[in-house]
Structure 1
């Protein structure tokens, strides 16, 4: 995130100050000139130069307030929200405001979860891992010992989750495939979340073993759910696919195993991938050339041909009936159909290898891929069949994880991280580990 420096196009600044008495928040507010001189041709400028006047913020023209807000750094807006509840009424239009920010506001160097760790932990780059995102919140973990956090990287608030069954001295289960989904109310404010992780088993089993944590209860709960066929979870790749509030983990042979944390009684079911996909490539490369994820309310399956000599290069299916597990083919594209306005990329189109990374979170027409030979991220337009270079790596390419990409969308408005209740302490034998309580933290 950028520091609180205004965009370059904001030549004249005004400051809205709020009275110390909270009861007067809806009354008169003071506006005064604080920096650069204002042009004499501006009527408003002449008034500000001559006087300090009062104005009722509730009568402030909405269009003018949006003009002011749209020129402020994102970090400032998130701070001002805490002192001016009146601004909540603009939530529905805040996407228009965010769309007008300069790209450099989203500075990846400062936008991170490293504030959760100490300087010593930051030196060990493999210690921190982002596991999932949902409605502006991030689930991440610190490895060795394993600690989970739910945080808001913008407000820098976070909650430390209590330890689960992995702290047991007798069983020592190995968990992976952590998933994270949050719930919002009618005002799009996060009111709760669920974290789920599955147990890694060495053999095929007729059941799915998992743990689920709910922010409403503050506890981890174990489940051992029977499956209609033996399954083996895939170890590589990211966490589960979240769709319709359900978690989906990739499994060998079948496709995905789905779990609905809100359905009673708890159960799981298998969902097949499209039958006409490249099954051989899927087995040989462990799913590296496929992408299955949610996009704008659709569950999509995108596939890239591993062999550059394959007739079709890109293929995509949409889930048409989730309950029946039915897919519908949307398109199949050959390499001769592709084009690019980038001269270097255009010269590689017939021989380059592409790895699917992510769907665009807002645009059903865009898929992001990695071009292996050029070591860059490209966008593919489904409608126009064109590819464009959108990002080139900074630093050593080998340091980047190209397999797992987790898109993060900055929310329209900041929301506090829900605090789980602290479970009642249970007296344990001497030497047993104590359950870590959940606390909310803020670091600036």
Structure 2
């Protein structure tokens, strides 16, 4: 367990490592011990040399969507109430993944329903090199807690779609799911909107596109934070003129971004002597935005094998976590920020579809 307390958040939160060695949901929930809720902080739980059995797929309004691996089974969990619900199994192909998770709350801030969206990516990921053209539709499978069933959709798009080779779950912003696509943008889909449709949102044109292509988006962090959709980009090469750059979405409907800053390495500072000595040459990978503080971004420092926080206002980097184990694979793809709720939100239980077997003709036997 890696911990670091910060004074800037109002609720306790964690940055979760998506992959867990436990297989049962109740064992996974044991990772959320009650003593961890008393203070805010950054938490990363990792176990080396153990088989991965559970994956955290997404979070929404205090609920966690996860799946048990081998065979694939989905669960929705509340770590505070320790309640978990196992979703009905889908009869569709296993080519569906890159799952998105969205929930809605009422005026009392209680979750009323949730939706899981699975995206089929076999055409664009597995056989991408063999394709001369890409599909102009989204093939989705959607589970609703209100119906308790999976429903397949083929959603037409006004453009051809090619997803990155390393598919990842979507970004959720204002209830809309956004998957990265290879034409330097995101495809957006609102699961609660009818008729079903999607749109393309381009990323800022003045970002480092070549780095994004070369490193498959590894040095790019895009997520929602305090009602804002923002993009934070790190230069992978220490010789690059700009080190950190950030954009905020100015107009979501028009897809317009606004550049917030571009800073050089000489602009950076640190109160930690060791980190200060590495600022001009260290490699940083973006991990997560602070869920409450718009001025804080968390990154991984490769050379020092630690997690650091970057303060946007004073351009200062500080060590946030010093891990006890290896963090070689940590990136935004394998972690997810999770705010631990203080209210006991129950998990809505989907209705169970009862299948009544056909009854043959009545046969009467005389004794």
- Counterpart of 2:112 in 1: which secondary structure? strand
- Counterpart of 1:406 in 2: which secondary structure? strand
Does residue 196 of the first structure (1) align with residue 117 of the second (2)? yes
Q: What is the distance in 2 between the residues matched to 1:107 and 1:267?
A: 32
Question: Counterparts of 1:124-273 in structure 2 under 5 Å?
Answer: 125-166=51-92, 172-203=93-124, 204-236=134-166, 238-273=168-203
Q: What is the distance in 2 between the residues matched to 1:396 and 1:255?
A: 32
In structure 1, list runs of 5 or more residues that go unmatched. Answer: 2-94, 167-171, 429-444
Root mean square deviation of aligned Cα: 2.6
Q: 2:187, 2:198 within 8 Å by CA — same for their partners in 1?
A: yes
Q: 1:176, 1:197 within 8 Å by CA — same for their partners in 2?
A: yes
Work out which of the residue numbers 289, 309, 316 in structure 2 matches 1:386.
316
Q: What is the distance in 1 between the residues matched to 2:15 and 2:188?
A: 36
* Cα 1:416–1:228 shift into 2, 3 Å: same
* Cα 1:140–1:173 shift into 2, 3 Å: closer
Q: 1:113, 1:153 within 8 Å by CA — same for their partners in 2?
A: no
1:6-54 CA deviation, whole Å, 9 max, x = no partner? xxxxxxxxxxxxxxxxxxxxxxxxxxxxxxxxxxxxxxxxxxxxxxxxx
Q: 2:170, 2:180 within 8 Å by CA — same for their partners in 1?
A: yes
Question: Counterparts of 1:314-333 in structure 2 under 5 Å?
Answer: 314-333=244-263
* Cα 1:286–1:426 shift into 2, 3 Å: farther
Q: Scaled by the length of structure 2, what TM-score is found?
A: 0.81
Greater RCO (CA < 8 Å, at least 6 residues apart): 2
Q: 1:237, 1:404 within 8 Å by CA — same for their partners in 2?
A: no
Q: 1:370, 1:402 within 8 Å by CA — same for their partners in 2?
A: no
Question: What is aligned with 1:30?
Answer: none
* Cα 1:390–1:249 shift into 2, 3 Å: same
Larger Rg: 1
Q: Could you say which structure has the higher helix fraction?
A: 1
Q: Scaled by the length of structure 1, what TM-score is found?
A: 0.68
Compute the displacement of 1:426 (Å). Answer: 6.4
Moved more, 361-370 or 389-398: 389-398
Q: 1:131, 1:238 within 8 Å by CA — same for their partners in 2?
A: no
Work out which of the residue numbers 116, 136, 152 in structure 1 matches 2:25.
116
Q: What is the distance in 1 between the residues matched to 2:27 and 2:262?
A: 48
Compute the displacement of 1:394 (Å). Answer: 2.1
Q: What is the distance in 2 between the residues matched to 1:145 and 1:298?
A: 37
Q: What is the distance in 2 between the residues matched to 1:340 and 1:379?
A: 10
1:376-407 CA deviation, whole Å, 9 max, x = no partner? 11000000100000012222334756642201
Q: What is the distance in 1 between the residues matched to 2:194 and 2:123?
A: 29
* Cα 1:378–1:413 shift into 2, 3 Å: same
Work out which of the residue numbers 212, 215, 221 in structure 2 matches 1:285.
215
Compute the displacement of 1:347 (Å). Answer: 0.5
Compute the displacement of 1:302 (Å). Answer: 0.6
Question: What is aligned with 2:269?
Answer: 339
1:213-245 CA deviation, whole Å, 9 max, x = no partner? 111111111111111111112242531000010
Question: What is aligned with 2:130?
Answer: none
Q: What is the distance in 2 between the residues matched to 1:280 and 1:394?
A: 35
In structure 2, list runs of 5 or more residues that go unmatched. Answer: 2-8, 29-46, 125-133, 359-367
Q: What is the distance in 2 between the residues matched to 1:347 and 1:357?
A: 22
* Cα 1:118–1:244 shift into 2, 3 Å: closer
Q: What is the distance in 1 between the residues matched to 2:228 and 2:356?
A: 44
